[in-house]
Amino acid sequence: MQKKLQKLLSYFESEKVSFADDRVSEFQDGSEPRLILEELMPERVCSYDTETIDDIGCYGPIIRDHMLATLGEWSANDVEVSEKDSSTVTVEFAHNGKDVTWSFEHDSGDYVSDAFYKKMNAWVSRNLKGKFVSLPTYGQDVAFAYLPKQSAKKLDSFIGNTVTANAFVQHFRSDNELPTAYRELRFDRNFDINCHDDTGETALTAAIKAKKVNQAMLALDEAVEVDPWTKNEAGQSPLQLSRKMGLQEITERLEPFYKRESREWSDLEKETDSESMLALIRALKEHPKSNTMYPSTIWWSKDIDFGKQESFEVGHDSLTIGRYFKPGIYEEHGSYNLQYRASTGDGYSMENIELAQTIELIEAFYE
């Protein structure tokens, strides 16, 4: 066991937080905090999949899981969960002889609402002696450890941000194997896999600048799956950098992501299985300037990319239109996402825009 973990556990002991002494030697500073806490003090940890809200009543078992982790400090025999309207959840229970009522927003998705955690943590902070510490999971499940507030603060410090943008990007400048904790970051709603570090580089651009061909390939692999179009903060795309650095293997891997040839509207119309994209294609097909637009797509993408000439590269003065999905809901909402990427590095993104505005933005792109 290394010094940071030893210091943390010593502090737990001083606050009379018991743990399984016989397991301590199995862990090091670099061990995942969730694994450490689940093994050493499982009674203080609750964990579950956040995609678990089949109906509003599912909040009841989640609340009880959190109650159990407080070791009796928060206890209520009757927890009533009801739906005030189509998007508002009400939770009622009694604590220390007082009636408690929470209300928070929940959309129609299957995921636990972030508003629930804000409401619960605010109440816990005011009414209990401890605090729930979120343990990194790198997936759609969550894990929390309940500890006295000072111990919770020490654990927060120990965790830091287990994977920071700087640490993540720095890995791709090295020759080291991908840490286990990084493998599911692309599923973590709290971590941006396309982050920039303090130098303005992404994982992919950092690897390219360091001439780490294997790490650049890994960044594009399914284990990480970064966006190959995200530029560094200097406005350089991964493709531009790999060409500049003379890294042929990376360039050849990247070019298929970027290169597009303009397609016929009728071909795009046949290929889409999306009602919203079909509506867009049909509207543009009849547009007075349809012959001067250059739309394209490739077989694995349902988005439409627009260039300013028949052959173009996505990410360099191109516009991409895709379907809009409500967060946590894998069904089309009927509107669109739009992203403009300029060769200079400037650009913008827009979410949940309607058909008429989408067409206006496409028209503006070609002005």
Residues 196-230 pLDDT 10s: 888 889 999 999 999 999 999 999 998 899 989 88
**Of the given ranges (8-12, 70-74, 153-157), which has the lowest mean pLDDT?**
153-157
Q: Which residue do the tokens 């009694």 mark?
A: 94
pLDDT tens-digit series, residues 235-291:
889 999 999 999 999 999 999 989 999 999 999 999 888 899 999 999 999 999 999
Q: For the CA atoms of the chain, what is the radius of gyration?
A: 25
Region of 117 please: left (phi>0), alpha (psi -120 to 50) or beta: alpha
- The side-by-side arrangement of strands in the sheet containing 80-83 is 80-83, 88-95, 98-105
List all residues 6 or more positions away from 99 whose beta carbon is below 8 Å from its beta carbon.
92, 93
Q: What is the CATH number assigned to the segment(s) 165-256?
A: 1.25.40.20
pLDDT tens-digit series, residues 301-319:
679 999 999 999 988 899 9
- Helices and strands in the chain: count of H runs, count of E runs: 13, 13
Question: To the nearest whole percent, how much of the chain has pLDDT over 70?
Answer: 94
**Does the pLDDT at position 181 exceed 80?**
no
In this prediction the pTM is: 0.54
Q: Where in the chain is the domain with CATH 1.25.40.20?
A: 165-256
Q: CA-to-CA distance for 32 and 367, rounded, in angstroms?
A: 53
pLDDT of residue 28: 79
Q: Determine the longest span between alpha carbons in the chain, in angstroms.
A: 76
Q: Which of 327, 333, 323, 351 is nearest to 111 (CA)?
A: 327
pLDDT of residue 160: 62
What is the torsional sign of CA 205, 208, 209, 215?
Answer: positive
Note whether 121 and 132 are within 8 A (CB).
yes
Residue range 324-341: average pLDDT?
Answer: 82
List all residues 6 or more positions away from 97 whose beta carbon is below 8 Å from its beta carbon.
none
**Does the pLDDT at position 77 exceed 70?**
yes
